[in-house]
């Protein structure tokens, strides 16, 4: 059988065709493979607003679960359209590629004269998307999100909920959804959020405000104080003086604990010593 592949793009401006390749699906009609780039997704997080970013991330993960975890005919929702595992074929991907106004856009499927195997998939992925990735990859020092995900998450993954999107269904006083890096409990809530203090001040203020709102919603739910970490790096004073002032306020705060990304072992030690467990058990 012939092998086809399609590139998934995140679209910023459909009229100007501004987009970035974020993932790739490959199929030979019987077997399918899919992967997206977490590194590019971290970059997209700086460009999209929170709602659009959560849509992108949720959809990429739904495809990943559907294809790579082989959940058979589990239905997936694609911007109002229901997908099933059987959608991975040349005809349907061609159909999806015509929806150019979606946040995520498929390219027209291309036929490639290779067998579908791990080595060939990796080679094509690195040609069109990004470095394939792996545990030995080095995260740039400036990428605070990547540093936390690589150096902290693997060490606390069994003790907290990672990368969880919280809504008013979780905490009644949370008015807008927020994706939290980690949340656990040890008699009191323990949560942490990575924040890039180098981004535009308006977006930085929004990130901080949303995390503070979450801490208040958590405490109002259980009528108790919690332990809340902000993970990041001190911004350069030349970037934006207001950013540095906001960083100073958080660093000196009485209810937020700032931890530099080079010192995430502080968080790991606290979670280990205090026997923190996942906040949500389902």
DSSP class of residue 167? -
DSSP class of residue 186? S
3-state helix, strand, coil in the chain (%, to 5): 40, 25, 35
pLDDT tens, position by position, for the chain (282 residues)? 689 999 999 888 766 667 888 999 999 988 899 999 887 887 777 777 777 888 888 888 888 877 865 443 344 444 444 444 567 888 888 888 887 557 888 999 999 989 999 889 999 998 888 887 644 444 454 578 888 988 899 999 999 999 999 999 999 899 888 999 999 999 899 999 999 998 888 889 999 999 999 999 998 887 678 999 999 988 887 656 889 899 999 999 888 999 998 889 899 999 999 999 999 987
Report the C-alpha gap between 91 and 119 in whole angstroms: 25
| Fold held by 144-278 | Trna Endonuclease; Chain: A, domain 1 (3.40.1350)
Query: Which has the closest alpha carbon to 195: 214, 211, 213?
Result: 211
Report the C-alpha gap between 235 and 228 in whole angstroms: 20
Contact 22, 9 (CB under 8 A): yes
Domain spans, the chain: 3-128, 144-278
Report the C-alpha gap between 73 and 84 in whole angstroms: 5
Query: Which has the closest alpha carbon to 176: 135, 143, 207?
Result: 207
3-state secondary structure of 252: coil
Burial label for 73, CB within 10 Å (0-12, 13-18, 19+), is exposed
**CA 222 to the chain's CA centroid:** 28
């Amino acid at each position: 059988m012939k092998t086809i592949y399609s590139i998934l793009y995140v679209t910023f401006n459909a009229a100007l065709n501004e987009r970035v390749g974020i993932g790739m699906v490959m199929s030979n009609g019987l077997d399918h493979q899919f992967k997206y780039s977490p590194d590019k997704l971290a970059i997209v997080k700086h460009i999209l607003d929170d709602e659009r970013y959560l849509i992108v991330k949720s959809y990429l993960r739904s495809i990943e679960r559907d294809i790579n975890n082989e959940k058979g005919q589990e239905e997936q929702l694609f911007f109002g359209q229901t997908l099933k595992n059987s959608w991975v074929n040349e005809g349907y991907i061609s159909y999806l590629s015509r929806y150019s106004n979606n946040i995520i856009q498929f390219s027209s499927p291309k036929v490639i004269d290779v067998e579908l195997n791990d080595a060939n998939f990796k080679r094509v992925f690195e040609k069109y998307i990004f470095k394939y990735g792996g545990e030995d990859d080095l995260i740039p020092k400036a990428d605070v999100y990547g540093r936390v995900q690589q150096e902290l998450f693997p060490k606390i993954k069994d003790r907290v909920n990672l990368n969880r999107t919280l809504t008013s269904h979780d905490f009644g006083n949370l008015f807008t959804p927020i994706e939290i890096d980690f949340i656990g409990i040890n008699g009191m809530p323990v949560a942490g959020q990575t924040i890039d203090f180098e981004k535009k001040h308006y977006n930085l203020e929004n990130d901080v405000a949303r995390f503070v709102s979450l801490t208040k919603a958590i405490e109002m739910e259980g009528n108790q104080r919690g332990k809340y970490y902000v993970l990041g790096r001190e911004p350069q004073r030349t970037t934006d003086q207001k950013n540095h002032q906001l960083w100073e306020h958080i660093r000196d705060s009485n209810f937020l604990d700032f931890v530099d990304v080079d010192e995430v072992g502080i968080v790991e030690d606290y979670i280990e010593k205090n026997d923190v467990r996942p906040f949500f058990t389902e």
